[in-house]
Structure 1
Amino acid sequence: MPSMPSLPMRTGQKAPRPKPPIPAVRAIVDCAVYVDGRRLPGKYTHESALAEVRERGEGFVWLGLLAPDEDQMARVASTYGLHELMVEDAVHAHQRPKLERYDEVVFLVLRTVCYVPHDSVVTANEIVETGEIMVLAGDDFVVTVRHGDHTGLAAVRTALEDNPERLALGPTSVLHAIADHVVDSYLDVTESIEEDVDSMEEAVFNPQSTVAIEKIYLLKREIVELRKSVIPLSNPLLRLTRGPGNPIPKEVRRYFRDVQDHHTIVAERIAEFDEVLSSLVDAALAKVAVQQNTDMRKISAWVAIAAVPTMVAGIYGMNFDHMPELHWEYAYYVVVGVIVLVIVGLFVTFRRNNWL
C-alpha cells in the first residue's frame, strides 16, 4: 500500500516543536534512604538515593510515585534495573491483584477500595471507588506506584518510621506494611457496606416503602466491583506466606499470615453480601408481582361493577317496541334501583374478599 504524501508546509509556517520530556521528579511524592530502620536526613532524587545506598553497602531506598507516565517510569526503570513489563503495568492501571517476580525484584499489584459517603443507599449513585498500588521490591529498594486519589501512603510511611525495628527488616517490611494497610481498608469498607446492605434489606421488607429494583442492582454491582478488587489477592498472599523459593524473610512471613487471615474475613463478608443481595432481588421481584396482582384484582373488580349499568343500558338501548316494561310508569325507577342494588352487592362482596 503506497504511503500517503505529506502535505507541504505553508510559507512562514513553523514546524511544531516536540514536547520536552517531563522529568521523573514530577511524579515523585517522597524519596528516602533508610539505614538500620532509620531515615537519613536530607533530600534525595531517585538516582542519588540509590547511589547513596550502594555506596554505603547497606540500607534501602523507598521511592514513592504518583501516576507516572511512560517517560517518567522509564527513567526510574533505567536507574533501578526494572523489567519493561513491570514498567508497562505500573504506567497502565486497571490491573488485577497479582504477584510476579522478575529476577530479584518482587512485583505486587494491590487494588484499593474507598467507601463513598452518601445520605441513603436508596439514593446513592456510587458506593465504592477503586484505585491501585503497585509495589516493586528489590534487595536495596522498594518503589511504590499509586493510581487514585485515595491511595496515599503517608500514614504507612510515618508508622514504619516510628517502628525502626520493623523497618530494619528491609524492603519486604514495606511490602508487608502496604499490603496490611490495603487489607485493613477492605475491612473498614465492608463494615460500612454492611450498614448499607442492612438498610436495603429493611427497606425491601418494609410494607410501607417502595424500593426500585434498580437500586438493589446498583448495590450488587458495587459488591461485584469490590469482589473483583479483593478476592484475586488471596493467591498472591498465599504465595507470600509459603512456597519454595519465597523471597520473603521468615520474620516478615509471619506478618503476612496475619494479613492473609484478615483477607479471608473480608472475602467471607463479601460472599455473604452477595448472597443477601441475591435474596433481596428475589424478594423485590416477588413484592412487585404481588403488587401487580393486587392492582389487577382492583381493576377487575371495578370493571365488573361498571359492567352492570353498561349491560342494562345496552339491553334497553335497543328500543324494541315489544318490551312491556318500557311503557310501564315505574319501569325507570325499578331498573335504576336494580342497578344500584347489584352494584352495592358487588362492592360489598369485593370489599370482603380484599379486592377493593
Structure 2
Amino acid sequence: MLISCVVYNGDREQADIPLEEIPAYLHAPDNFVWVALQDASEDELRAMQKQFGLHELAVEDVFNEVQRPKVEEYDEHLFVYLQVPAYHGEEVHIGRISIFVGPNFVLSVRQNCEQALLGVRARAEREPHLLKYGSVYVMYALSDAVVDRFFPVVDILDDELEKLEIAMFHNQETRKNMERFYDVKYKVNVLRHALLPLADGFSKLYGGRVPALVDGAENYFRDVHDHIMLLNSQLDAMRDTIATAIQVNLSLITIDHGEVNKKLAAWGAILVVTTIFTGIWGMNFTYMPELHWRFGYPMALLIMAGCAIYLYRRFKKADWL
C-alpha cells in the first residue's frame, strides 16, 4: 500500500506526485524521490524494483521475516533492513522496515509495523539544510528514528526488572518470580537480536572506506552507531542483572527448601521420642513393673508430653520451627 510519494529538489520538498510520474523526476538535477510503502505486496515491490533497478536479493529480503538486520552495499544502491520495536501490554512487538537508497531515490517499506514514521518527513521539512546530502539524509533520518524507538522500550524493561528485583526479597512467590525474570530475559534477547547486527552494519558507513553515496554524511551515521552501542551496553547490563537475579532466586528457593527440611526434621525428632516410649511399653515382656502401677499410664503420657515440649522449645529457640 502506498503511503506517500514525494519529490525533493535541493533543500526543499517540491511536491507529492503519483507513482506514474516518478520517471520524469528521477533524472532531473538535484532531485530525488522518496516512495513510502506499508505492507507492500510482491507485485508492488516488483514494480518498484523495475522502476529503481533494485537488486533481486535485496528485494527478497524484504519479505523474509527471519532476516537479520543489516546494511548492505550493492552496485546501484544501499539496502538497510531494520527491526522496529513497540511495547504493547506486556509484549514486545517487532515490525520491519526496509530502506533502499540510490543517488536519486529512497524507497522505504514498512512490514507489520504499527507505528508510522511520519515524523521523519516532518523532520526533513524542519531541517532543509540537511537535505543537501540528498537521499542519504532520508536514510539517516529513518535509521535514527527507528533506533531511537528502542530507548523507551528498554526503559520499560529496565523498570520492570527493577520492580522484580525488589519483589524478589519481599514475597514468597519464588517460582512466579523465576517465570517473570525469564519473561524479561526473553524480551531483552529479542531487542538484542534486533540491535547487535546493526553495530557492524552502521560501522561501514563512517571511517575508512565508505560507500560513495554516504560521502560527506559520515558523522550522522556515526551518531546512529553511537546510539546502537549505547543500547547494546544497556541490554548487556540488563542481561547480567537478570542472570545474577536468577541465581539469587535459585539460592532463595534452596534456602526455602532448607527451612522446610529443618521443620520436617524437628517435627520428626519430636515424634521419634514419643515413638520410642510407646515402642518400649508396647513390648510383651512379662516383668515390666510400671505396667501394673496405678499411675503408670498418666506418667507415661506426662513423660512423652514433657519430652515433646522440651524438644519443641529447643527447636523453636534454634529457629527450626
Deviations 1:264-305 (A, max 9, x none): 211111111111111001000000000000000011111111
2:100 alignment counterpart: 136
Distance 1:192 1:248, change over 3 A: farther
1:178 alignment counterpart: 142
Question: What TM-score do the two structures reach when normalised by structure 1?
Answer: 0.85
SS at match of 1:241: coil
Distance (Å, rounded) in 1 between the aligned partners of 2:103 and 2:215: 15
Distance (Å, rounded) in 1 between the aligned partners of 2:230 and 2:293: 87
Contact 2:85 2:191 in 1 (8 A): yes
Q: Within 5 Å, which residues of 2 pair with 1:115-154? A: 115-118=87-90, 126=91, 128-154=92-118
Note if 1:169 corresponds to 2:143. no
1:239 alignment counterpart: 204
2:4 alignment counterpart: 30
Deviations 1:97-131 (A, max 9, x none): 2111221200011122123345xxxxxxx3x2212
Which one of the candidate residues 250, 257, 267 is aligned to 2:232? Answer: 267
Q: Within 5 Å, which residues of 2 pair with 1:60-209? A: 60-118=32-90, 126=91, 128-206=92-170
Contact 1:135 1:143 in 2 (8 A): yes
Q: What displacement does 1:182 show?
A: 1.5
Distance (Å, rounded) in 2 between the aligned partners of 1:155 and 1:230: 22
2:21 alignment counterpart: 48
Contact 1:60 1:170 in 2 (8 A): yes
Q: Over aligned residues, Cα RMSD in angstroms?
A: 1.8
Distance 1:75 1:250, change over 3 A: closer
Letter in 2 for 1:37: D
Contact 1:203 1:209 in 2 (8 A): no
Contact 2:34 2:106 in 1 (8 A): yes
Distance (Å, rounded) in 2 between the aligned partners of 1:279 and 1:115: 25
- With 142-151 and 212-221 compared, the bigger mean Cα shift is at 142-151
* Percent of residue pairs identical: 31
SS at match of 1:240: coil
Which one of the candidate residues 189, 194, 201 is aligned to 1:229? Answer: 194
Distance (Å, rounded) in 2 between the aligned partners of 1:78 and 1:243: 32
Q: What displacement does 1:308 show?
A: 2.5
Contact 2:38 2:109 in 1 (8 A): yes
Distance (Å, rounded) in 1 between the aligned partners of 2:44 and 2:71: 23
Q: What displacement does 1:71 show?
A: 2.2
Q: What displacement does 1:164 show?
A: 1.7
Question: What TM-score do the two structures reach when normalised by structure 2?
Answer: 0.93
List runs of 5+ in structure 2 lacking aligned partners.
none
List runs of 5+ in structure 1 lacking aligned partners.
1-26, 119-125
Q: What displacement does 1:156 show?
A: 1.1
